[in-house]
A and B are shown apart, each in its own frame.
Chain A
């Protein structure tokens, strides 16, 4: 299978966008998952609902909301531009933001479930041995949740690779800047002669997603055995 330079750009961009989306949202995802799994606070169910929203809302709506908030005329967008000289608009970082928002519920959910499955008595035991709550989190909760963190990361990564609706609404599909695999396939389909290209990219998408899922399953099992959650 031969890819044109144009296609390579879309592939590389997709991977870059997904990688940034996932790595930037992971710390927040772990924190939110921990709060939802372990703490009681006012507005917990609201937070849980807001995070899940991108799963249910039409992606176009999510993209539009991002545009309203982070676009050139959005409140946050104006602030970021004025204070940091930074803008998400029509930039690949904007595509990453859209991908991160769309993948976030999957990330949080997987980590939350794995944290809820951890025996809280182990955390209590660590506390009696002198570990402060932060130490307990870092040395007990986090390592035991690792299989879930890996699974969530891969799911969010796969979701980010495939993100289309929110991305195109928020940052359009500018080749080399915001045109990811999915937008490239969509663009190819608009072209009367684009069918072979659409096919190549489609096969490639399948290959990438399949590899990601397979790898995550493998790594998760490996880690689960290592941390002893599965013997």
Chain B
């Protein structure tokens, strides 16, 4: 468990942030310039805040009142930087071993062979960084961080320098680190798809302040939390229960409700998180008949919030939070009130592999 409380001035920018991060992936999420990178640098000890109290599992790392400062090389952090930062004079393998060399023997929980196969970098080992692609460099950088037997992994937008295809290539590796290696990860990102896919918890940063923290399902449906550029969305959990090869659909259940979605390449029984933008959900007072939209979920309205000319309607569907953005006109016509039962409709085609992410059992439990 890492506990961070910092106050830092840099010109006009004031970073005043307090949060905690435990098991699994904690995403530091926010627009560029919100202070995310500065925060992880402070956790690593690469930047010293004006006022700080940063501790990890009860060890003080940086405390300005008590005049404690642990230098970066004694914190045992696996830091994956935006630009990889592989050592240019060493081969990929030497880069990996560089991290391992300084790790105390008794605490090496993962071997070089495991890291190499986990990240699929067997063929790259003898190459020099200059000859690797961006995605390959980043995989080696992740491996190097893992081999240093870190107590905490910091990933600072590790995918931001990569194109879409490369991102898709690396995300599964980060998922398997989350699910197989029990080291807390702080993941900095301004990309909601990465956060939806990886995070157990979200710390939402805006202009140097923590605006909200909680699970993705709590944070992303709430427009008051989100930066203007980001539309509210539901993030709810479901379990895959089958596939319809003839129709090219996958079937999942949420509580007692069954939903259909685009085929996803995950085995039955997998717990998944689905992301659906609020604008994609239609509300109806009765369960509609003869309609092409396949998914009808009954839910209770928990709140209505005005959002400009729109209304954001939050629903509780089998314990999951759904949010729908409708016009003020529709809200008045249907006379929506908290406590009413409505049906949330969405098309199976809006939910595809790009918005369905598998969750490990631990991830889901939190």
Most chain A beta-carbon neighbours within 10 Å: one of B73, B129, B144? B73
Q: Chain B 102-130, CB within 8 Å of chain A: the 1/0 string? A: 11000000000000000000000000111
* Chain B positions within 8 Å of A229 at CB level: 88-89
The reply on A85 being an interface residue by CB < 8 A is: no
The reply on B148 being an interface residue by CB < 8 A is: yes
Least CB separation from B85: chain A residue: A125
Q: Chain A 201-231, CB within 8 Å of chain B: the 1/0 string? A: 0000000000000000000000000111101
Indicate which residue in B73, B75, B131 contacts A131 across the interface (CB closer than 8 Å).
Answer: B73
Nearest CB in chain B: distance from A122 CB, A: 6
Assess the B102–A135 pair: CB atoms within 8 A: yes
- Complex CA–CA separation, A209 to B336 (angstroms): 91
- Complex CA–CA separation, A6 to B74 (angstroms): 61
Instruction: Say yes or no: A128-B79 contact (C-beta < 8 A), given A121-B85, A140-B87.
Output: yes
* Chain A positions within 8 Å of B131 at CB level: 231
Residues of A within 8 A of B (CB-CB), count: 24
SS of B interface (majority)? mixed
Within 8 A of B (CB), among A108-139: 119, 121-122, 124-133, 135-136, 139
User: How big is the B interface, by class?
Assistant: 20 to 34
SS of A interface (majority)? helix
Instruction: Say yes or no: A126-B79 contact (C-beta < 8 A), given A228-B128, A231-B130.
Output: no
Assess the B71–A228 pair: CB atoms within 8 A: no
- Complex CA–CA separation, A128 to B81 (angstroms): 11
Q: Chain B 67-85, CB within 8 Å of chain A: the 1/0 string? A: 0000111111111010101
Nearest CB in chain B: distance from A200 CB, A: 43
Assess the B89–A226 pair: CB atoms within 8 A: yes
Indicate which residue in A128, A131, A136, A228 contacts B77 across the interface (CB closer than 8 Å).
Answer: A128
Additional A-B contacts beyond A227-B88, A227-B89 (18; CB < 8 A): A122-B87, A124-B46, A124-B72, A125-B79, A127-B72, A128-B44, A128-B77, A129-B73, A129-B102, A131-B98, A132-B73, A133-B73, A135-B102, A140-B87, A143-B89, A228-B128, A228-B130, A231-B130
Residues in chain B within 8 A of chain A (CB atoms): 44, 46, 71-79, 81, 83, 85, 87-89, 98-99, 101-103, 128-131, 144-145, 148
Shortest Cβ-Cβ A-B pairs, 5 listed: A130-B102, A228-B88, A227-B89, A128-B79, A125-B85
